[in-house]
Amino acid sequence: MAGRLAAVGVFAAVATVGIAAALLLDKSDNRASSQPPLTPQERSTAPKHLQENLAQANQLVDGSIQDRIEGLRGLPVVVNQWASWCPNCRSEFPFFQRIASELRTRVAFLGLDSQDGRGDAESFLKRYPVPYPSVYDPEASQAISLGGGQGWPTTIIFNRRGEVTHIRPGGYATVGQLREDVQHYALGSRG
């Protein structure tokens, strides 16, 4: 009996430590952090249209995703279709936070909030801030026009000429998978 109680106590302690570690990791990955301003060197090398995109970081904006992509021509563009109700979107948002920050002067990122309520989307962005704007697409018509809209999340990558080079339905399980797709399809030989 004492052995069982000790085993239960050890299990409970390990579980508690695991849960606490997971909560701390979740908070560190998703904490609201402001994107540092561009350095003078980044400002001198980043195109004006990319600087304008970065200036709208974490905002839910109206308008056309097609116009936004066209306005970023000359840069590779990564569009992440998401919704606040989507668990896989929530899981992969820290990956987009990280990669978009790492590549902020080389690749333009755009969110596409589809089939979502505006208030829910704005609350989601407060909890999971990203260093780029998200276009509001309540009917998912803009997502469909890009080749998405079939499942959430979907990532669509465009080359510098504005051509689709990759569509990935479903979420990324690791930051490495996202990094690999961005490197290959946005910056690689096809970008």
Over the stretch 77-116, which tens digit does the pLDDT of each residue have? 999 999 999 999 999 999 999 999 999 999 999 999 999 9
My answer on whether 143 and 159 are in the same domain is: yes
What is the C-alpha end-to-end distance of the chain, expressed in Å?
65
Task: Residue 108: name the closest of 78, 136, 66 by CA.
Answer: 78
Write down the mean pLDDT value for the chain: 84
Q: Do residues 177 and 113 make contact, with C-beta atoms less than 8 angstroms apart?
A: no
Contacts for 108 with CB less than 8 Å, ≥ 6 apart: 49, 50, 53, 72, 75, 76, 77, 78, 132
Domain boundaries, position 6: 1-31
- Evaluate if residue 144 carries a pLDDT over 70: yes
My answer on whether 88 and 105 are in the same domain is: yes
Percent of the chain with pLDDT over 70: 75
Average pLDDT, stretch 166-182? 97
My answer on whether 13 and 59 are in the same domain is: no
What phi and psi, each to the nearest 5 degrees, are found at residue 39?
-70, 165
Express each pLDDT in 44-76 by its tens digit.
Answer: 667 888 999 999 999 999 999 999 999 999 999
